[in-house]
């Protein structure tokens, strides 16, 4: 396994445990895609580059160069020279024209993987990953493009990125820089994406691709509630267990595009990168632009294998936090309990009751700073409101700690309120177009994090609070999207750099935060789940999945999220009923069972809920700790899907050593004349026997996987069951 260059064939071969990726060179030096799929034992061949077919390569048939480029399966296509499909790179030179042509110059193969400057990216040691760098050059522009491929063999993952270097004397403008392209023949592919909206993020959508371009994208300055930086192409028969899947995910938290294009010749071009809208980067002589990383995987064993590839990869090679596998405290957040109406006494009352129930951390949400009694002021004024926190923050934290709980706090460091001391002092620190009044969302503007002094101020506000008291957890929120894209700091010809520089500023702050406070549990959030992406996972081991904690709505949200991301990365809490977003009532036990497929916590006023609900909390906390390690490390299997029009939902987490498995079954809607349902487990040892915990029932692994387990019928909506099978 690993990476080889076969000189006589001019082929690069990259192998993982189950897959092979082949790249070939034309006689002229065009870098082409040959194959990505099941592992090849041989070295492969370049006939899929179709260089022997009309119109042939330019060295044979220069008169038809453009038609050749328009059909060649290019690894990194460029615009303006004859390939009329979507390009990865558009470069405007000093004369004003757009056009670049990249030809192979050299390569290197090395153990390990280098960092991407200023960006989150996967990591691994020399035993985990091997990297291929292909150096291409446009000799006219004196532009070098380094295509980077890192192979994580055990996870069946290949990451891709590009580095653009201006080695000439011209001042160039990069008007588009994508990170990855995959050209291949169409297999009647379906396209899978994860669209949504606030409170219903990442719902699985699947449909056949058509001629032309189909894409998902965001130009909102964040990966967004509405779309998601993920795309998969699956053969029509693909299920959880069978069929081919090609998938890409983007390690980036800002504007993106993920696109599939079916050409006139039946080929498919799959691309991913920073969205070219509102993007233009000045690349002066000697300067370098680093494109973010795209993560690619191929599965010949259905969506389930794709999912487990992603889960393993993100756990081992994106998430850095000591909480990746460590014990995370069960928390209670006061937001839905009090909103802005709280003080020290109310928080201590919640903490006291929470501690009695076994909850381990109190999180103080929005409203503790400035004059913040509603959402129209004080963002940017990160000083404690001592009318609410009457004895000061250090004393409050001390008193919560004395009750046996850790303390956490909410911030929204990227924002500024028009009604704030900060805005009155620095109105130019808000992102805005000169001469226009900027638009508000939630009565707030966005700080211009392309400015180093603004980044320093925002970071210092957070860090000063964390230095003042033993705070164990931060919820980092971002409650609005970007618009009025203008900076008072950037030059007129550099305004197209703002949105990417903004993300670099966010990443810089979070990198500084986790370095200065290495034991801090950081949870990212953006109005719920609008920035749930691999870029954020690099800094925080968990991300708030959605502001909707309704157990039934969460089934769909968490299914879509878990298609790509590990369960332990999904911020999931038990909320009050009627639910504050949809008004639905669900059993307290079901709310707990659904939240167990995530980080697990509470979003309610424990002092006001019914006694029978409060009495269930100690058992739920004990249940979380019992299954925590399994959920953090285990293999996830989707057994049934309510979102796919079944009346019930079911998933399983199996230990990697096949020693035990936890199955969660939720009967969403009862049906008349309904019989028992059979669910087919996965990930067990066929020859072993498994005992259903709490009963005397014993089954073989083979029975559970091939014959299935019979879930008894019951009356009632929103009823759930946990089944824990333990190997004898």
Q: Which of 330, 297, 298 is nearest to 314 (CA)?
A: 297
548 is catalytic: no
Angle at 563 between CA 560 and CA 569, to 5 degrees: 90
E runs forming strands in 655-703: 660-667, 677-679, 689-692, 698-700
Determine contact, residues 310/580, Cβ cutoff 8 Å: no
Q: Provide the β-strand partners of residue 256.
A: 218
User: Is the distance from CB of 16 to CB of 31 less than 8 angstroms?
Assistant: no
> What's the CA gap between 185 and 190, in Å, rounded?
13
Angle between helices 588-595 and 551-562 (to 10 degrees): 10
Catalytic residue among 547, 576, 605, 635: 547
Which H or E run includes 249?
strand 245-251
The candidate with the shortest Cα–Cα distance to 81, out of 71, 93, 96, 66, is 66
Q: How far is CA 426 from the centre of its chain?
A: 33
Contact (Cβ atoms closer than 8 angstroms) between residue 2 and residue 15: yes
Dihedral sign of CA atoms 345, 349, 354, 355 in order: positive
Residue 111, classed as helix, strand or coil, is: strand
Name the CA dihedral angle for 365, 444, 412, 380, rounded to a multiple of 10 degrees.
Answer: -100
Determine the Cα–Cα distance for residues 475 and 470; give it in Å rounded to an integer: 15
User: Distance (Å, rounded) from C-alpha 214 to C-alpha 186?
Assistant: 14
User: What is the Cα–Cα distance from 471 to 331, expressed in whole angstroms?
Assistant: 13
Cβ neighbours around 120 below 10 Å, total:
25
Structure tokens at 512: 């500084």
* Locus of tokens 């639910």: 579
The 3-state secondary structure of 521-587 reads: EEEECECCECCCCHHHHCCCCEEECCCCCCHHHHHHHHHHHHCCCCHHHEECCEECCCCCCCCCCCC
Tokens linked to 662: 């936890």
The sign one gets for the Cα dihedral 237, 238, 242, 244 is: positive
d(CA 603, CA 617): 12
Which one of 156, 366, 477, 635 is the catalytic residue?
A: 477
In this structure, what token pair is assigned to residue 450? 């392309």
Q: Distance between CA atoms of 15 and 40, rounded to whole angstroms?
A: 8
Q: How far apart, in whole angstroms, are the C-alpha atoms of residue 519 and residue 517?
A: 6
The answer to whether 477 is a known catalytic residue is yes
CA 540 vs CA 89, 176, 526, 533, 711: distances in Å: 31, 29, 13, 11, 37
Spatial distance between the Cα atoms of 437 and 486, rounded to a whole number of angstroms: 11
The answer to whether the beta carbons of residues 30 and 83 sit under 8 Å apart is no
Q: Each residue of 683-702: b (16+ CB within 10 Å) or e?
A: bbbeeebbbbeeeeeebbbe
Question: Radius of gyration of the chain from Cα atoms?
Answer: 27
Tell me the sheet residues that pair with 251: 293
Pairing of strands 473-476, 406-411: parallel
684: cis peptide before it, omega within 30°? no
| Cis ω before 622 (30° cut-off from 0) | no
Report, as residue numbers or ranges, the catalytic residues: 477, 547
């Amino acid at each position: 396994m690993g990476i080889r260059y076969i000189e006589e064939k001019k082929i690069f071969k990259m192998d993982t445990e189950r897959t092979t990726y082949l790249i070939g060179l034309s006689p002229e030096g065009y870098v082409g895609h040959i194959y990505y799929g099941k592992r090849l034992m041989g070295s492969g061949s370049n006939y899929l580059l179709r260089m022997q077919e009309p119109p042939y390569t330019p060295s044979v048939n220069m008169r038809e160069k453009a038609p050749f480029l328009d059909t060649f399966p290019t690894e990194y296509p460029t615009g303006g020279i004859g390939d009329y499909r979507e390009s990865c790179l558009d470069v405007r030179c000093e004369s004003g024209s757009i056009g670049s042509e990249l030809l192979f110059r050299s390569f290197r193969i090395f153990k390990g993987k280098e960092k991407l400057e200023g960006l989150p990216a996967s990591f691994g040691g020399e035993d985990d990953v091997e990297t291929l760098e292909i150096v291409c050059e446009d000799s006219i522009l004196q532009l070098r493009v380094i295509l980077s491929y890192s192979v994580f063999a055990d996870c069946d993952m290949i990451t891709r990125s590009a580095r653009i270097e201006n080695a000439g004397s011209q001042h160039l403008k990069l008007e588009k820089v994508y990170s990855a392209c995959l050209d291949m023949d169409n297999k009647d592919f379906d396209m899978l994406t994860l669209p949504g909206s606030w409170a219903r993020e990442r719902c699985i959508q699947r449909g056949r691709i058509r001629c032309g371009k189909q894409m998902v994208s965001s130009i909102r300055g964040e990966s967004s509630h509405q779309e998601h930086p993920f795309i998969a192409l699956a053969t029509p028969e693909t299920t959880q267990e069978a069929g081919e899947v090609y998938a890409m995910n983007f390690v980036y938290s800002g504007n993106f595009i993920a696109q599939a294009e079916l050409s006139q010749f039946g080929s498919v071009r799959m691309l991913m990168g920073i969205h070219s809208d509102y993007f233009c980067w000045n690349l002066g002589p000697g300067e370098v632009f680093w494109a973010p990383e795209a993560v690619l995987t191929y599965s010949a064993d259905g969506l389930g294998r794709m999912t487990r590839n992603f889960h393993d990869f993100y756990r081992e090679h994106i998430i850095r936090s000591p909480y990746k596998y460590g014990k995370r405290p069960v928390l209670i957040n006061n937001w839905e309990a009090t909103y802005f109406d709280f003080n020290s006494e109310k928080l201590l009352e919640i903490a006291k009751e929470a501690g009695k129930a076994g909850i381990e951390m109190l999180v103080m949400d929005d409203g503790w700073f400035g004059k913040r009694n509603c959402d129209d002021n004080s963002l940017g004024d990160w000083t404690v409101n001592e009318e609410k926190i009457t004895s000061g923050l250090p004393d409050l934290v001390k008193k919560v700690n004395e009750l046996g709980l850790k303390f956490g706090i909410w911030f929204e460091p990227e924002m500024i309120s028009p009604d704030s001391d900060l805005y009155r002092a620095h109105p130019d620190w808000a992102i805005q177009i000169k001469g226009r009044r900027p638009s508000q969302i939630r009565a707030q503007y966005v700080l211009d994090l392309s400015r180093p002094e603004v980044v320093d101020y925002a970071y210092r506000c957070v860090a000063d609070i964390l230095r003042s008291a033993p705070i164990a957890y931060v919820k980092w929120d971002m409650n609005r999207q970007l618009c009025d894209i203008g900076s008072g700091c950037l030059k007129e010809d550099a305004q197209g750099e703002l949105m990417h520089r903004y993300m670099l500023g966010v990443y810089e702050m979070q990198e500084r935060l986790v370095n200065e406070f290495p034991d801090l549990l950081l949870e990212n959030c953006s109005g719920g789940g609008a920035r749930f992406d691999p870029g954020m996972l690099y800094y925080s081991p968990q991300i708030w999945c959605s502001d909707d904690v309704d157990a039934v709505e969460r089934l769909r949200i968490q299914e879509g999220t878990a298609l790509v991301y590990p369960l332990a990365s999904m911020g999931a809490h038990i909320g009050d009923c009627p639910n504050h977003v949809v008004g639905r009532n669900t059993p307290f036990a079901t709310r707990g069972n659904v939240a167990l497929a995530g980080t697990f916590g509470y979003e309610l006023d424990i002092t006001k809920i019914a006694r029978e609900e409060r009495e269930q909390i100690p058992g739920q906390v004990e249940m979380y700790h019992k299954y925590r390690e399994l959920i953090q490390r285990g293999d996830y299997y989707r057994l049934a899907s309510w979102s796919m029009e079944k009346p019930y939902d079911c998933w399983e987490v199996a230990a990697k050593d096949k020693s035990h498995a936890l199955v969660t079954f939720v009967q969403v809607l009862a049906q008349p004349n309904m019989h028992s349902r059979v669910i087919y487990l996965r990930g067990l040892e066929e020859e072993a026997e498994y005992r259903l915990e709490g009963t005397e029932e014993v089954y073989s692994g083979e029975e559970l996987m091939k014959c299935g387990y019979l879930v008894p019928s019951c009356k009632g909506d929103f009823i759930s069951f946990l089944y824990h099978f333990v190997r004898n």
